[in-house]
Structure 1
Amino acid sequence: MKKLNIMLSMLVLIAGLTACNDALNVVNPNNQTTYDFGDSESELQEAIIACYNRIRLEGTFARVGYTLDAVRGDEVWNSSQQWYLEYDNLNSPGTIEIGDLWPWRDLYHVVNRTNFVLSKVDAVDMSEEAYNQIAGQALFLRSLAYYHLATYYQTVPLITDYASYSNINTMYAANNTQDEVFDQIEADLTKAMQMLPSRDKGGEWAQGRATCGAAAGYLARVLMFRHKYEEAYVVLKDIIKGEYGHYELMDDYGDNFREGSPYENNKESLFEVQFMDYGTGGTDEEWTPVNISSQATQGHAVESNYASQEMGSWGDLAGSPWLYNLFKKEKCTDGRLDPRLYWTLVTYESEYSSYTGLKTAAYPDGDPRCNIIYQKNITATPVSNTAQGGISIAKFTNARTNLYSSITNGLHCGINLRLMRYSDVLLRAAECENEINGPTQTAINYINEVRRRAGLEDLKLEDFPTADHLFEQIANVERPKEFGCENGRGIDLIRWGFFYDANRLNQLVEHGYYKLDGKASTEELTAETATASSFQHYYKGHEYFPIYQGTLNANPNLKGNSANKNEDNGPAFKEKWSIHPVVK
């Protein structure tokens, strides 16, 4: 009997242990980890949408990540003299989170999520079409993040393996060279071009998503940053021929800066960041990656930076008097002002009151195509910042749409940010043609297609005797008027080498003159009449933003870039490429 009791006790114990083991292996469906997710096509479709969600954060394109490059350029200055000041003056010490950390943090969130998708997609059974759509979008979005990381922070860690995050030795990654990062971007975008459908073939699915056209456009940008003009020109000409879908200029320039389905994701847009129309989102403002509210506003705060304090904005950034006067120097063939002035800067012009009809792109009594909720006519030029002054910026704000009379600051503006438009393809094609063959009628034709939309007189080839002359027209007339106050100008100044030539840097100083007089100064400023210029404070190496010192302290393998070291990038640039001299 005693032996029998012992045997029964052992059996009970074994059974109990076995039951415990079974219980420990049960997965709680309400507490899943990343290891449990992404093993089906439907889950990967959800994951890729989550990747798009990360490009609409404050550090990516909902505010800071978008406007930092604009203030780095010569057509925007810091009218608040507070936020963004060190990035306008190009002398951040590397300890300011807004520019040294926030874009870095949020762009690497995009990298992290796209790496997750790419780590899972090969093992999931799905159709070739679904595979290409999921992997192609992940490759594009990772490239988009790395394009901005490399053009903002110069030398950044290149992480392409999701498993790297689980090992402390690989998680703390060292810097890669800018060329190494661009090599990866070129490879990823080349694959994405082959995998993604065009906007035409993608149909409704392609609305707001990355397409082969978006991948081709960004590949051309990367190639041109590296002065690979012949390779970029091939891609640009294919876009123009419709190899990656049909694109053309909108008849009305202003349709690129309105919200609503008739205007967003239009025939001119290669890629844009999607935001919900004003008043249609939730109430919670999702500033950082840790917020996961289902009631997020899903708008952007670029308007809060750009618009006038008279309408309730923060009044942080203003358009430069140089840009304003550039618009005023040339009128349309019918005597009108360039309509792009109306949509770029919020200045009152007496000529607007004499314009009639829908094709003028300037409606003093409100655009009749808008659903007018409030009526607020602009009868005087509002100041960007009521204390410091400056010309208010109209782009990606509702100053010209009459949707409301005052701004609710924060993540509420619903205008999609068009990151690349077809006009950029045309002007880049003109630049490539000029770099390869010198001034030609082909280059002039590309430029004139953009000018005709604005109603300007055609350029004539005989007015541009050298490639330097046509480059000056493209760089300092056509591009700033077409893309003034948009993201991208600061990146252009770097790729052209304007920071590394004394005459070019002096030109930037002249473009960057501003006046702190509490008014919307529109006169042409000089060293004698201006308060200062953004570029007179420039420290060598600070055409890039420094890597945040706290990030450097946390990662023993990471080194500072040229901005952290105040290191001149000019000699290395001139070893590889030439800089166009200043010509009239």
Structure 2
Amino acid sequence: MKLLKYSLAFLFGVGTLTSCMDNLDVVNPNQQTTATFGNTVDDLEECVIAAYNHIRMEGSYARVGYTIDVCRGDEVWNSSQVWYLEFDDFTVLVTGDIAWWPWREWYYTINVCNFILSRTGDDDSQLSENMRRIKGQALFIRGLAYYNLAGYYQNPPLITSYETYSSLDGLYGANSTYDEVLDQVEADFQQAMELLPSRDEGSEWAGGRATCGSAAGFYARTLMVRHKFSEALTVLEDIISGRYGTYRLMDNYGDNFREGTAYENNDESLFEVQFLDYASQGTDDEWTPVNTSPNATQGSAIESNFAPGDFGGWADLSATNWLYDLFKSERTTSGTLDPRLYWTLGTYEADWEGFEYGNVAYTETLTASDTIRTNNNYGGIPIAKYTNLRTGLYSTVVTGLHDGINVRLMRYSDVLLRAAECENEVNGPTQRAIDWINEVRNRADLPDLQLSDFAGNADKLFEQIANVERPKEFGCEFGRGFDLIRWGFFYDADRLQQMKEHSVVRITADKSKVLLPVSYSDIDSDSELKSGFDTYVAGHEFLPIQQQLTNNNPNLQGNSANYGTDNSSYFRDNGWTVRPVVDLDD
């Protein structure tokens, strides 16, 4: 007993002396490790914010990670003859630089998500509500990262455990198969659907965070990549019925492409990338994944790529004549042009007098004699979408990461048109499929389609969805290249020919010739005509895995673009078929 008293007295004395010392043993908040950080909800919430931050970097959705797929499709072409030319022509070299930036950004994102998931455990039933939401967001963002990596690079390494980074085997992962990666994407989105609240909860869940509706929408998208149409249809039906939150089409299509709280994160948006509005940004363009400046702009550079040179843009990308002609080929029930043309392309049209902001290019009023403001000296139809060309917000583009319009990655109109596509694949043309399409058309005041127009012809209804309804609704948006791959258009001679015809454009300094009719049949005799799909070779629907990556990682191999492998056998061995080209006028 006496010994115990002496021991306690000694410890008390030491404690007293220690408390009087000037130096305190504290953790430097700027030098924390995985042992000292990530053990509380607040720590993990910071990690979630970091993960969201990575999806708005240059290689993810702030510039090239977004625009590479835009020009991979048949609606947009590289009009600057630099920068995006190799992506437009499917001639990306393994020794290039830009082509690996999406890889860089998405693996940064995956690393953050894997750290979060290493702290949330495997048993969701034991998680608090806050931890469920943290885990759900990490799963959604990781699923989004691998969705993009598979869509661009085909067979990237699948890394799902943070612990593997502690070994060289984890740091230098080998390729996974396309199916293995997509299996994980499906699993991540499906689990996120169960963990996340809906946007109906309000607050941040209606203001930009990933929700169960976000996860459900991307889960359906992923299922459709591998033609799991019946499964995808069930998910899409549940979204439409309100199981994952309340969504509706905005009355005004243009509300999806303006900045500000009145328009962004609206009732049509399943998920969008958050950018700071004009005049609320910092001044520092940060192009790397670090983004450490407290004065970072936190905008995107999509406008800089799309905007005409006359207004300060880089004029890198322009719309194809096919997309413009598609809009002009059909009038609304009141005899006017489709209002989606106004928000998609920057042309002068008599119909725009008195419509929205009128015939405007930034703050300059266009007149009939302008006809069109070409993108640059190579010609090209300016893209208005995700720019302020139509809003009159400013007169000159400040190039760089300054565009404040949130990028809507998935809208409710996509749910409706995908549901119609899946219904057609599963049951053929039905009134239900037609009704979903008409809901989107009605917003644009276009006349209803009639089931009798398709007479049980699933190929014809697919053609209507793929090459009329989707281009008009989503023209010049991310995802067209992903669609062309999942539809198998690269693996069918007639479909490849159709893409060549869609993408033929006139490269000319004569602005009066920009909108002249162009025909692919004249491409050999008319030196001003060009089609990016002419130089496509098998396997190059994907980006090659860059040589600097394979040099640094001895376990990493190339993909079909590296080796010129034809992916048509994979497509057909799965029992998938390419829908034949159908003339909708017949």
Q: Is the structural similarity TM-score above 0.5?
A: yes
Partner of 1:363: 357
Q: TM-score, normalised by structure 1?
A: 0.91
1:392 equivalent among 360, 382, 395: 382
Q: 1:291 is paired with a residue of what secondary structure?
A: coil
Partner of 1:521: 514
Aligned counterparts of 1:338 and 1:313: Cα–Cα separation in 2: 26
Aligned counterparts of 1:202 and 1:455: Cα–Cα separation in 2: 31
Q: 1:56 is paired with a residue of what secondary structure?
A: coil
Aligned counterparts of 2:174 and 2:29: Cα–Cα separation in 1: 37
Q: 2:472 is paired with a residue of what secondary structure?
A: helix
**Cα-to-partner distance string for 1:103-123 (whole Å, 9 max, x where unaligned):** 000011110111111112239
> Aligned in 2, Cα 1:164/1:401: closer, same or farther, shift over 3 Å?
same
**Cα-to-partner distance string for 1:33-63 (whole Å, 9 max, x where unaligned):** 2332111111111110111000010000000
Aligned counterparts of 1:391 and 1:106: Cα–Cα separation in 2: 30
The percentage of counterpart residues that share the same residue type is: 59
1:444 and 2:438 are equivalent in the alignment: no
1:268 and 2:262 are equivalent in the alignment: no
**Cα-to-partner distance string for 1:262-294 (whole Å, 9 max, x where unaligned):** 000000000000000012111111211133111
Is 1:393–1:485's contact at 8 Å kept on the other side of the alignment? yes
Q: 1:391 is paired with a residue of what secondary structure?
A: coil
AA at the equivalent of 1:336? T
Q: TM-score, normalised by structure 2?
A: 0.91
- CA drift of 1:24 comes to 13
Aligned counterparts of 1:205 and 1:533: Cα–Cα separation in 2: 43
What is the 5 A alignment of 1:395-410? Answer: 395-410=385-400
- CA drift of 1:243 comes to 0.2
Aligned counterparts of 2:530 and 2:30: Cα–Cα separation in 1: 58
1:468 equivalent among 459, 476, 488: 459
Partner of 2:496: 505
Partner of 1:426: 416
What is the 5 A alignment of 1:63-74? Answer: 63-74=63-74
Aligned counterparts of 1:216 and 1:115: Cα–Cα separation in 2: 21
What is the 5 A alignment of 1:332-351? Answer: 332-351=332-351
Aligned counterparts of 1:318 and 1:71: Cα–Cα separation in 2: 9
**Cα-to-partner distance string for 1:123-181 (whole Å, 9 max, x where unaligned):** 99996210111000000000001000000000000000111222112210000011101
- CA drift of 1:459 comes to 0.4
2:563 equivalent among 535, 554, 565: 565
Aligned counterparts of 1:514 and 1:390: Cα–Cα separation in 2: 8
Aligned counterparts of 1:127 and 1:165: Cα–Cα separation in 2: 25
Q: 1:36 is paired with a residue of what secondary structure?
A: coil
Aligned counterparts of 2:467 and 2:359: Cα–Cα separation in 1: 33
Is 2:147–2:185's contact at 8 Å kept on the other side of the alignment? yes
Partner of 1:375: 363
1:285 and 2:285 are equivalent in the alignment: yes
Q: Return 5+ residue gaps in structure 1 as ranges.
A: 1-14, 368-373
Partner of 2:5: none
Partner of 1:479: 470
> Aligned in 2, Cα 1:350/1:205: closer, same or farther, shift over 3 Å?
closer
Aligned counterparts of 1:412 and 1:458: Cα–Cα separation in 2: 40
Is 1:44–1:121's contact at 8 Å kept on the other side of the alignment? no
Q: 1:121 is paired with a residue of what secondary structure?
A: coil
Is 2:206–2:265's contact at 8 Å kept on the other side of the alignment? no
Is 2:299–2:404's contact at 8 Å kept on the other side of the alignment? yes
Aligned counterparts of 1:30 and 1:150: Cα–Cα separation in 2: 35
Aligned counterparts of 2:440 and 2:422: Cα–Cα separation in 1: 16
Partner of 1:548: 546
Aligned counterparts of 2:122 and 2:565: Cα–Cα separation in 1: 45
Aligned counterparts of 2:123 and 2:428: Cα–Cα separation in 1: 51
> Aligned in 2, Cα 1:176/1:454: closer, same or farther, shift over 3 Å?
same
1:537 equivalent among 535, 540, 554: 535
- CA drift of 1:376 comes to 2.2
What is the 5 A alignment of 1:97-112? Answer: 97-99=97-99, 101-112=100-111
Is 1:39–1:124's contact at 8 Å kept on the other side of the alignment? no
AA at the equivalent of 2:358? P
Aligned counterparts of 1:447 and 1:152: Cα–Cα separation in 2: 29
> Aligned in 2, Cα 1:348/1:50: closer, same or farther, shift over 3 Å?
same
Is 1:306–1:392's contact at 8 Å kept on the other side of the alignment? yes
Aligned counterparts of 1:324 and 1:139: Cα–Cα separation in 2: 39
Aligned counterparts of 2:485 and 2:543: Cα–Cα separation in 1: 12
Partner of 2:481: 490
Aligned counterparts of 1:30 and 1:202: Cα–Cα separation in 2: 34
Is 1:384–1:393's contact at 8 Å kept on the other side of the alignment? no
Is 2:76–2:320's contact at 8 Å kept on the other side of the alignment? yes
Aligned counterparts of 2:386 and 2:444: Cα–Cα separation in 1: 19
- CA drift of 1:225 comes to 0.5
AA at the equivalent of 1:377? T
AA at the equivalent of 1:581? P
1:207 and 2:207 are equivalent in the alignment: yes
- CA drift of 1:510 comes to 0.1
- CA drift of 1:381 comes to 4.6
AA at the equivalent of 2:366? I
Q: Return 5+ residue gaps in structure 2 as ranges.
A: 1-13
- CA drift of 1:387 comes to 1.9
Aligned counterparts of 1:254 and 1:342: Cα–Cα separation in 2: 9
AA at the equivalent of 1:110? T
- CA drift of 1:385 comes to 3.7
- CA drift of 1:206 comes to 3.8
Is 1:305–1:317's contact at 8 Å kept on the other side of the alignment? yes
Aligned counterparts of 2:285 and 2:372: Cα–Cα separation in 1: 28
Query: How many pairs are equivalent?
Result: 551
Is 1:340–1:481's contact at 8 Å kept on the other side of the alignment? yes
AA at the equivalent of 2:436? Y
Aligned counterparts of 1:333 and 1:375: Cα–Cα separation in 2: 30
Q: Which moved more, 1:526-535 or 1:509-518?
A: 526-535
Is 1:327–1:481's contact at 8 Å kept on the other side of the alignment? yes
Partner of 1:320: 320
Aligned counterparts of 1:59 and 1:384: Cα–Cα separation in 2: 27
> Aligned in 2, Cα 1:411/1:382: closer, same or farther, shift over 3 Å?
farther
Is 1:257–1:415's contact at 8 Å kept on the other side of the alignment? yes
Aligned counterparts of 2:554 and 2:279: Cα–Cα separation in 1: 46
Q: 2:119 is paired with a residue of what secondary structure?
A: helix
Partner of 2:9: none
Aligned counterparts of 1:30 and 1:432: Cα–Cα separation in 2: 50
- CA drift of 1:363 comes to 3.2
Alpha-carbon RMSD: 2.0
What is the 5 A alignment of 1:185-334? Answer: 185-334=185-334
AA at the equivalent of 1:396? Y
What is the 5 A alignment of 1:44-193? Answer: 44-99=44-99, 101-122=100-121, 128-193=128-193
Q: 1:270 is paired with a residue of what secondary structure?
A: strand
Aligned counterparts of 2:140 and 2:92: Cα–Cα separation in 1: 30
- CA drift of 1:383 comes to 4.3
Q: 1:240 is paired with a residue of what secondary structure?
A: helix
> Aligned in 2, Cα 1:158/1:24: closer, same or farther, shift over 3 Å?
farther
Aligned counterparts of 1:582 and 1:104: Cα–Cα separation in 2: 34
